Amino acid sequence: MTEAVTENPGTQAETHAFDAEVHQLLKLMINALYSNREIFLRELISNASDAIDKLRFIALTDAELQASVQPPSIDLSFDAEAGKLVIEDTGIGMTRDEVVENLGTIARSGTARFLESLSGDQQKDAQLIGQFGVGFYSSFIVAEQVTVETLKAGQSADTAVRWQSRGEGEYTLETIERAGHGTRIVLKLSEPHRDLLDAQRLRSIIEHYSNHVAFPIRLEQMVAATEDAEETTELEQINDTQALWTRPKAEIGEQEYQEFYGGLTGDFEPPAIWAHHHVEGTQSYSMLLYLPSRAPFDLAWNRDERSGLKLYINRVFIMDAAESLVPRYLRFVRGVIDSADLPLNVSREILQDSPLLSKIRSAVVRRSLDMLEKLASQGGEVWDTVRDEFGNVLKEGIIEDPANRERIASLLRFESTQIHDEARTSLADYLQRAQASSNESDEDGTDKPKQTIWYLLADSRARAL
Ligand code: ADP
Ligand code: MG
């Protein structure tokens, strides 16, 4: 990275230059996402929730840390006059190095690739950013200045860090004191966005995007002065923290499933279909799977870095376990798996060898193929989109998963000389037509019907014809 560090005379704050890409991303995002500006709050809340998850996970195996962990909370408050919005969590926090790494560079390879994939067409790019989950930098859509104060869990109070930036190419860093572990983010909203500083407004944004976050999101409310008491504030919990996937199916409405999907994936579009199962027995688990209606921009070539299936043990988030739970050709499947019957100190190695996990893995495959078959039998626009978005990736399954070859093959669709427009043919339809025409020519009917499939490889229909 480009780490131009200059001492800032008079204060202890150091000024750092952003990684060039960060600056580029910021500018682009502010333009592309202006009309969806509220998503910044979803992103900050989801980071807070991730940070609490991470702390709970490492505290499982660290008794000393466990003893000092504060109850999980994500608290919001605002000061309309000063134009400030504050989001504070009791998560794992960050060290100074982590702050630099996470907030000053594009550490995640996906982001760099994302930048490369931008088309310059604003509408398209906004969609990409939406499904990509832009994260922390989206604060600059609404804020003219962002301040992050953070203390890593287990570190002494005087090692806390303050990061501050106006999103214009540089940020400052200084060491501060902070009482408890966690992160406090203060946004100074720019003039046109100050309308967001309203309790009702914030509440409805939280309900819309973050209702199923597993930790309490509380909003500071003013309590009007009475004769006996002055004006005070109290924290009111906004979200419903009961993990959706653990609830009985019969109690959950369609809209709740859709909202949960939005919170889980950051996708603006509703899912194409979902499947929710509670499996009881000597080993029990719950599984909530979704098929998106649109592919992430990097689906086709990003075969190895998979994400999107979260593993929980008794509602404690353990890891993104897509690699252990879903074969490559189903890498577009999203969802949550929760089991009380896995060891809490589970590692990726243990996951590979766990009999329960292999059971879950085959259930994920079975249920995913069920969902695809259901969509295929319903037909219509949803199926057409899913077919076009995921069909090519699904084809990999013919090689990758011989046991399910027949099921996968029945889901594949192809261009055909007999079919035009948006429609595609299945192998079964093709064979039926081929047989019908070969029966016409084979009048004696003694030969077995020929099962020849004629195909031509081309990168587009126009080229093939
Ligand atoms: P993502 O959440 O997809 O990793 P973000 O841009 O949202 O990307 O955040 C970048 C990184 O900054 C996170 O991965 C995390 O390590 C760190 N981070 C952001 N917010 C917090 C927070 N509230 N507490 C601890 N770490 C955080
Ligand atoms: Mg994030």
Half-sphere exposure in the Cβ direction for 169 (13 Å, CA): 1
Q: Is the pLDDT of residue 127 over 60?
A: no
**Burial of 428 per CB tally in 10 Å (0-12, 13-18, 19+):** exposed
Neighbours of 73 (CB within 10 A): 18
> Which ligand is nearest to the Cα of residue 51, counting in written order?
1
Give residue-wise pLDDT tens across range 134-169. Answer: 678 889 989 999 999 999 999 999 999 999 999 888
pLDDT of residue 107: 43
Amino acid 126 reads A
Minimum-distance ligand to the CA of 29?
A: 1
CB of 55 closer than 6 angstroms to any ligand 1 atom: no
Task: State if residue 104 touches ligand 1 by the CB under 6 angstroms criterion.
Answer: no
Residue to substitute in 136, 210, 215 for testing ligand 1 pocket (most ligand atoms within 8 angstroms of CB):
136
Whether 75 and 218 have beta carbons less than 8 Å apart is answered as: yes
Per-residue pLDDT for 327 more than 80? yes
Q: What is the pLDDT of residues 19-66, one digit of tens each?
A: 777 777 777 777 777 777 888 998 899 889 989 989 998 898 899 999
Question: What's the pLDDT score for residue 134?
Answer: 62
Report pLDDT for 146. 97
Residue 357 three-state SS? helix
- Please report the atom of ligand 1 found closest to the CA of residue 87: 23
**Helix 122-132 crosses helix 20-32 at what angle (to 10 degrees)?**
110
Position in ligand 1 atom list of the atom nearest CA 182: 24
Ligand 2: distance of its center to the CA of 44 in Å? 7
Q: Is the pLDDT of residue 446 over 60?
A: no
- Rounded to the nearest whole angstrom, what is the distance from the C-alpha of residue 67 to the centroid of ligand 2? 27
- Ligand 1, atom 18, lies closest to the CA of 47
Does the CB atom of residue 265 touch ligand 1 within 6 A?
A: no
Q: Look over the chain and give the mean of its residue pLDDT values, rounded to a whole number.
A: 84
Give 71 Cα–ligand 1 centroid separation in angstroms.
20
105 touches ligand 1 (CB under 6 Å): no
Residue 299 pLDDT > 80: no
Q: Give the gyration radius of the chain's Cα atoms.
A: 26
Instruction: Give the range among 1-5, 73-77, 318-322, 349-353 with minimum mean pLDDT.
Output: 1-5
CA of 310 to the centre of ligand 2 (A): 15
Q: Which residues of 201-224 are buried (b: 16+ CB within 10 A; e: fewer)?
A: ebbebbeebbbbbbbbbbbbeeee
Does this model's pTM top 0.85? My answer is: no
β-sheet with 170-176: strand ranges across: 6-7, 14-17, 170-176, 160-165, 143-151, 182-189, 84-89, 74-79, 217-223, 232-237
Q: How many whole angstroms from 46 Cα to the centroid of ligand 2? A: 6
Ligand 1 pocket check for 272: Cβ under 6 Å: no
Mutation to probe ligand 1, out of 54, 76, 98, 102 (largest number of atoms < 8 A from CB): 102
Protein residues placing their CB within 5 Å of the ion ligand 2: 47, 135
pLDDT tens digit sequence for 111-126: 445 555 556 665 555 5
Tens digits of per-residue pLDDT, 169-193? 889 999 999 999 999 999 999 999 9
How far does the centroid of ligand 2 lie from the alpha carbon of residue 25, in Å? 15
* Predicted pLDDT of residue 317: 78
Our answer on whether the CB atom of 22 is closer than 6 Å to any ligand 1 atom is: no
Residue nearest to ligand 1 atom 1, measured at CA: 135
Instruction: Measure 100 CA to ligand 1 centroid, in angstroms.
Output: 11
Whole-number Å distance, alpha carbon 6 to ligand 2 midpoint, is 29
| Nearest-atom index, ligand 1, CA of 185 | 23
Give the number of the ligand closest to the Cα of residue 102.
1
